Every structure is written in C-alpha cells, then in structure tokens.
Structure 1
Amino acid sequence: MTFATTQRRSEESRISPVFWVLLATLVTSAWAVVSGFGNPRFGVFLFVVAGWMVSLCLHEYAHARTALHSGDITIGAKGYLTLNPFKYAHALLSFVLPVVFVIMGGIGLPGGAVYIERHRIRGRVKHSLISAAGPLVNVVIGIGLLVLVSSGVFDDPAHPAVLNGQELIVSAFPAALGFLAFLQVSAALLNLLPVPGLDGYGIVEPWLSLKTRRAIEPFAPYGMLAVFVIFWQTAASRWFSDLVFVITDLFGVSKAYPVVGQFLFRFWE
C-alpha cells in the first residue's frame, strides 16, 4: 500500500514530455541566435515564445505546489505538478491569450489556470501566499535575466543585431534576453494589480468581507481582458513600459536591449 502510494505520487510529480519539448525549443533557439544559424529574427521569436511559455508553466506550478503544501491534496491528481500546460484548467487564458498579448502588444500577462480547492485550505495567509507564488516566479526569472544581460557576457560587438539591413547597437541574443526580462517584470507588476481574476486580487481577497467578495466575484473572468483592453486602447501601455524601463535600468540594463529584442521578435514586420 505504501509502495503504491509512493509510486502514484511519483507519477503525479513526473515532468511532462511537453515541458521537455518547450525546454528543448528554448535551448535550441538560444543556440541558433548565439551562433547565427538560420534566420536570427525567427530564432529570437522562438526563443522568446518558448521562454515565455516555460515561465508560464513555472508560474502555475508555483501556485500548485504552494497549494499542495497548504492543504489541497488534490493538486497532484489533477496533473498540475507535471508542468504540462495541457493539464491546466483554462489553457486559453493561461497560455494562448498571454502569447497573443505578447505578439500584439509586448505585454507579459499570465492568466489563472490552476483550480484550487480553497475549502481545503485554512488560514488567510496561506490563501494569499498561494496567489503570490506565481508572480514571485516571474520576479525571480526577471531578476536572473536582467543580471545576465547586465553582466555583458553575451554581448558581441563584432556581431551586432541587424534589422532591415542596418546594424543595431546590441547583439541579438542579449536583446532577446532583455525582451524576455521585460516580459517577466511586466508580468509580475501587472499580475500584482488588485484586479479580479489576477493574482494581486487573489492576495487581498482573503482579507475582504464576504459581502465584498460576493459582489466582485461575477467580474473575475473579465479582469485580465479588461486590463489588456485598457493597455491596448489608451496611453497606459506607454506609461507602464516607462515604469518597467525604470526597473530594468536599476539593474544596469539599457532600454535598448528590450526595445531591440522586441523589434527582432516581430520578425513578420
């Protein structure tokens, strides 16, 4: 009985082949961009999309793992610990739309996908920590990428990025890293907004009155879309980008890196 239980738990936590494919795509595209193999702009596109999807998987995994240790023992059976994006509750909100947002507007905005049985969890602090775990992953990844870019280890003045026949001031790979870092920082900041449907609201929700939570609940499915519309239709996107650039500058990363990275990413233009 103990062996069967241990085996089942091992299977529930086994990393999915889908995630390994994403990692392989990330590493292969990184090599292609660094070595100059193939179309560099398409290589940057693959690298950023693969890196973004890997971070989305880790974002949701953090929610799931924290929920498991907080009392929801059903997490493993749902496949949330396998890092398989197809196991999440809302693949459209969690993976399709965030990738579309990046392609259309360069906004890093993960969506909620892990269904947590909140009644199994006791204590408002635990509920808040579960919601905070996802954005924290984006913070850690973002800092790591910014440190890599600022170190200059991937800069190669002899091989600058080329766009429309013109040499740019940075190399392709650090530019791609810079854009991916920009997405991680923007994802962390946006997700911490106290908007229904985003993790920021999940952090404060346990501390609200039952009446307030019930009044807000019907709007939760539309929070992420509302944020995207506001950013797409108003100057909020430019103001927000300026804020993210202030943060990247604190790590010694010039805005040229994410800006050039986004230009290279949009290979179809």
Structure 2
Amino acid sequence: MTTAFRRPSDRRVSPIFVGIFAVMAVSGWAVWTDFAEQTGFAVFLFVTAAWIVSLCLHEYAHARTALHSGDISIGAKGYLTLNPLKYTHALLSIVLPVLFVIMGGIGLPGGAVYIERGRISGRWKHSLISAAGPLTNVLFAVVCTAPFWLGALDGVPMPFRFALAFLALLQVTAAILNFLPVPGLDGYGVIEPWLSYKVRRQVEPFAPFGLIAVFALLWIPELNGVFFDAVDALLRGLGVSEVETYCGLDTYRFWQEWFGDQDTGCAMIR
C-alpha cells in the first residue's frame, strides 16, 4: 500500500547547502572585519557563495510552490533539500551561472526543476510556479540593497558595501532575464498557461534555445547598453550607485592584481 506522505529526508536541508551557506557566512564576516589580508579573495568567496545560495532558493521557490499547487512528486526528486546538485544538471545549474558571474558580472538564470504539470490544475497556479523563482531574486535584491535605501550605511566597511552592491547587481540582472517572456525562461512560463494550445505548440520547439538567443542578443553593443542602463536605473532607485557596483566587480576579480591590471581607483576608495 502506498501513501502520499513524504519521508522526512525529502525536506531535510542538504549538508551541501549548509556548507555553502557556511562559506558565505564566514567569508562575509572576513570581509566585514577585514580579517583576511586578501580582501578581494574574501569578497570573491562571499559573493560566489551568496550567488549559489540564491540559485538554490530560486529553484526551491519553484519546487515549494509546485508542491502546494498539487505536485506531490516534488519531494521525492530532492528539490526540497536545497541541494544544488538536484536541480537538473550541475553544469547548467551552478557551473555556468558562476562562470558568467566571473567573466561578465551578470546573473545567468541557471537550473530547473522538473514539475509534473499534469498534477496541477488552474492557470494561476502554473503562472505562480514560474514566477516564484525570479521573485526570490527580487527579494534577494531588496535585502542586499536594504542598507542603501534605508540609509543605514554608517559603520558598514567599504569592501562589504561593494560586495553587497555587486551581489545586488547579479540579483537584478537575474530577475530581469528570468522575467523576459522568452521560451525557456520563467517569464514565458508565467504567460504560457494563458496562451492558446496552438500557440504553445508552435513555440515549444524554440524553448531549448531561448536562453542562448537572449545572451546572443546581449552581445550586440546597443542592446547590451540598453539592458545595463535599465539595471543601473533600478539599482539607483534602490540607492546603489554605479560606482559601488563597479567597485564591487573590481574587488570581486581579485586575480586582476596578479596580472598587473591597471588600478581602477577602487582600491583608494577602500
């Protein structure tokens, strides 16, 4: 006889996630206290760990919303453990998003959870499941920028301030990209339940290439400029200046000093 009850282990937080969270906490403390001689390396660990934590929470939000919407298979797939290795594929979920952060300073939407949509009824539920992930990035961005828009920066060390600004940049870019109504992204998932069956069938073959198309378009200088102008405008509205996000990226890329890259002036601000 089978039951619909999930084993407690299906919801137990993964030790992998706990380890990543611990790295975020310890490295954040090191940045705040200037404990490490290599502040840039501490910022790198803090931002990277925090970014992975946000990726896990993004996918967890999808899974948790799907569970409460009727897909009771979610727990058995390990999506409620916050284990980043459970979200589709480690390369797509973690490695590529982190590489994009290192190379381009942009929040790449990563990972996915397989939801049995047939178990869920109601278009609003399907839309909410898709929206839950990027809304987590929005919440993360609000938390990261809270000291800025609350005017509570007194006593906050400059390296930690820069790290928060850069992390906020990643969250804003991830939220914007995820909310684009492009097949394969969460934004399309929000509107898909409201489209006709014919339109959904016509669009379906393009879903695997949606993200690739978006990033190909971002290589076009004019579109790239428009995108980052929008990101900067949102961050300024949250009290974060372009200088702070730039210095956050500059501090994050600590290895630039090893190759004798020209000083950008952020070290003087720090």
Global fold match (TM > 0.5): yes
Hey, what does 1:243 align to over in structure 2?
Answer: 230
CA contact under 8 A between 2:97 and 2:107: conserved in structure 1?
yes
Hey, what does 2:173 align to over in structure 1?
Answer: 186
Percent identity of equivalent pairs: 59
CA distance in 1 between partners of 2:238 and 2:32 (Å): 23
Once the two structures are overlaid, the 10-residue window that deviates more, 196-205 or 97-106, is 97-106
Tell me how far 1:112 sits from its aligned partner: 4.0
CA contact under 8 A between 1:149 and 1:177: conserved in structure 2?
no
Hey, what does 2:190 align to over in structure 1?
Answer: 203
Hey, what does 1:116 align to over in structure 2?
Answer: 115
Provide Cα deviations, 1:232-269, integer angstroms capped at 9, x if missing partner. 34332222111111111112222221111011111222
Task: Give secondary structure in 1 for the equivalent of 2:241.
Answer: coil
The verdict on how the C-alpha distance between 1:101 and 1:52 changes in structure 2, with shifts beyond 3 A counting, is: same
Q: Considering only aligned residues, what root-mean-square deviation do their CA atoms show, in Å?
A: 2.0
Residue type at the aligned position of 1:106 = G
CA distance in 1 between partners of 2:42 and 2:199 (Å): 47
Q: Can you give the 5+ residue segments of structure 1 that lack an aligned partner in the other structure?
A: 160-170
Q: Can you give the 5+ residue segments of structure 2 that lack an aligned partner in the other structure?
A: 257-270
Provide Cα deviations, 1:69-122, integer angstroms capped at 9, x if missing partner. 011000000000000011112322222221121112111122341000111111
Q: Give the alignment's TM-score, normalised by structure 1.
A: 0.89
The verdict on how the C-alpha distance between 1:38 and 1:30 changes in structure 2, with shifts beyond 3 A counting, is: same
CA contact under 8 A between 2:148 and 2:238: conserved in structure 1?
no
Tell me how far 1:127 sits from its aligned partner: 0.5
Hey, what does 1:232 align to over in structure 2?
Answer: 219
Aligned length: 255
CA distance in 2 between partners of 1:115 and 1:148 (Å): 36
Q: How does 1:123-162 map to 2 (within 5 A)?
A: 123-151=122-150, 153=152
CA distance in 2 between partners of 1:230 and 1:86 (Å): 29
Tell me how far 1:173 sits from its aligned partner: 0.7
CA contact under 8 A between 1:95 and 1:110: conserved in structure 2?
no
CA contact under 8 A between 1:132 and 1:200: conserved in structure 2?
yes
Hey, what does 2:98 align to over in structure 1?
Answer: 99
Tell me how far 1:148 sits from its aligned partner: 2.2
Tell me how far 1:9 sits from its aligned partner: 3.2
